[in-house]
Structure 1
Amino acid sequence: MASNFLKSVPFFLLLAIVMAGDPDILTDFIPPANSSSNGLDGNFFTFTGMRSAVSSGNPSTFTITKANLANFPALNGQSVSYALLQFPAGAINPPHTHPRSAELLFVVEGCLNVGFVDTNNTLYTQTLQAGDMFVFPKGLVHYQSNDDPKQPAAAVSAFGSANAGTVSVPLSVFATGIDDVILAKAFKTDVATIQKLKAGLTPTA
């Protein structure tokens, strides 16, 4: 029985490697359901959702405008997506992960302090200026922060997946219903502190 399992290991390793990213497609692109490529034109391959973000100036809160599979169907099967990140003075993009892709960040305005933590709990940080790029490896917890108290910042992120996914660390830990006692034990604190943290993440009506 053990030898049969060991014989199957290379197959499962190969399967894991093949399934590590977006699946390859056997056509040039994937048309929408219930349609064919004959009825498409350049509009299908055009995304205009960034226009308002570019023309409206600097937002008052941290804002992400995404071009991904959810709002740009032409990306289906193409293994790419983008996001425009706009940071008012002092704003942050809290710690989060992208489970299906690395992120390549390009700063287009201002300065950003960025960092990620690897699986050995080593923190890698950098201060980026306009024109700088930084890569956040796939699946690792990372953040971006505009520490300038007066000037905004902006960046464009490229992903190697049409649907990279985002898991917010604060929200996934404190806003998903995990029992307060479990969290108090995990963070070596008391339930009252956990409840304060949860209250701070609860949207106001």
Structure 2
Amino acid sequence: MAAKFSVKTTSSFFLVLCLTVILFFTLSCFSADPDPLQDICVADLSSPIRVNGYPCKPESQVTTNDFFFSGLRNGASTANPLGFGVRRANASTFPGLYTQGVSVNRVDLARGGTNAIHVHPRASESNLVIKGKVLFGFVTTANVLYYKVLKAGETSIIPRGLVHFAANVGSKNVAYLSAFNSVLPGVSPIPDNLFASTPTIPNYILAKNFRVDEKVIALIKSKFGLDISLSPATWEDI
């Protein structure tokens, strides 16, 4: 008799398979991080010392659990204005992958949800769709936009440091895995950088760059909890 698999078992197996494939794909690329000088270096997250990363945990304190991670099994909440949720397996959440030049995110998008326009300054990004239909796009420094809608089992690559985005263009919720060739790829969300920085970028500068009235900038900032107008004179006083 043929073996029977429950929906839960099949889904778990497919997720593990997807994760394995995307990790292999990423590890086959050139690492963006320095090569390790020892077999293992589990990040010591409790140490206050930071020199371009984490120190290594003493090997006597390393355990099996440092090298296994279940944080991507369940989706993240998408109950926010973007309809976006993310769970990260990077050096800050999965200490055993430190110095290995790889990290993975699980991204969930509600219907109509988007992964905000952003950049990863320290890594390229490869994506594998688990379920749903996702529009991926990135813009080169020559202002050329490359984009495509992908379905479950299809992949994309986002070159390092380029502005990119993702959006759920289907009728159901979306989940996909993003793998990076860095243990801490970093993320700079463009909307937050421009309209919710601390201190805020002066309205007149943003208005000139976007070729709109300062009132438009003030309105946008109010959506981020900011509505501060700084003139050139007040900016000089900061």
TM-score, normalised via structure 1 length: 0.82
* DSSP-derived class of the 1:51 partner: coil
Return the match for 2:202 from 179, 182, 191: 179
Return the match for 2:211 from 188, 193, 198: 188
Q: Give the aligned partner of residue 96 of structure 1.
A: 118
Question: 1:70: how far off?
Answer: 1.3
Return the match for 1:169 from 176, 190, 198: 190
How many angstroms apart in 2 are the aligned matches of 1:178 and 1:34?
Answer: 38
1:124 and 2:135 correspond: no
Matched letter for residue 111 of structure 1? K
Equivalences for 1:8-27 in 2 at 5 Å? 21-27=32-38
Identity of aligned residues (%): 34
- Residue-by-residue CA offset, 1:104-124 (whole Å, 9 max, x unaligned): 000010101110000100000
How many angstroms apart in 2 are the aligned matches of 1:196 and 1:80?
Answer: 40
Question: 1:34: how far off?
Answer: 7.7
Question: 1:27: how far off?
Answer: 0.1
Question: 1:81: how far off?
Answer: 0.2
In the superposition, relative to structure 1, how do residues 34 and 183 fare at CA in structure 2: closer, same or farther (>3 Å)? closer
How many angstroms apart in 2 are the aligned matches of 1:117 and 1:28?
Answer: 38
Residue segments in structure 1 that go unaligned for 5+ positions in a row:
1-19
8 A contact 2:89–2:105 mirrored in 1: yes
8 A contact 2:41–2:57 mirrored in 1: no
Residue segments in structure 2 that go unaligned for 5+ positions in a row:
1-30, 45-54, 227-238
RMSD, matched Cα: 1.9
Q: Give the aligned partner of residue 16 of structure 1.
A: none
Aligned residues: 180
Question: 1:21: how far off?
Answer: 2.4
Question: 1:138: how far off?
Answer: 0.3
Q: Give the aligned partner of residue 166 of structure 2.
A: 144
Farther-moved stretch of structure 1 (37-46 vs 110-119): 37-46
* DSSP-derived class of the 2:93 partner: coil
More contact order relative to length (CA 8 Å, sep ≥ 6): 1
Matched letter for residue 93 of structure 1? N
* DSSP-derived class of the 1:173 partner: helix
1:198 and 2:221 correspond: yes
* DSSP-derived class of the 1:74 partner: helix
Question: 1:59: how far off?
Answer: 4.4
How many angstroms apart in 1 are the aligned matches of 2:220 and 2:78?
Answer: 26
8 A contact 2:41–2:56 mirrored in 1: no
Question: 1:72: how far off?
Answer: 1.4
How many angstroms apart in 1 are the aligned matches of 2:113 and 2:74?
Answer: 20
Farther-moved stretch of structure 1 (84-93 vs 37-46): 37-46
TM-score, normalised via structure 2 length: 0.71
- Residue-by-residue CA offset, 1:39-67 (whole Å, 9 max, x unaligned): 423111112222343xx8x7443100001
Return the match for 1:72 from 91, 94, 103: 94
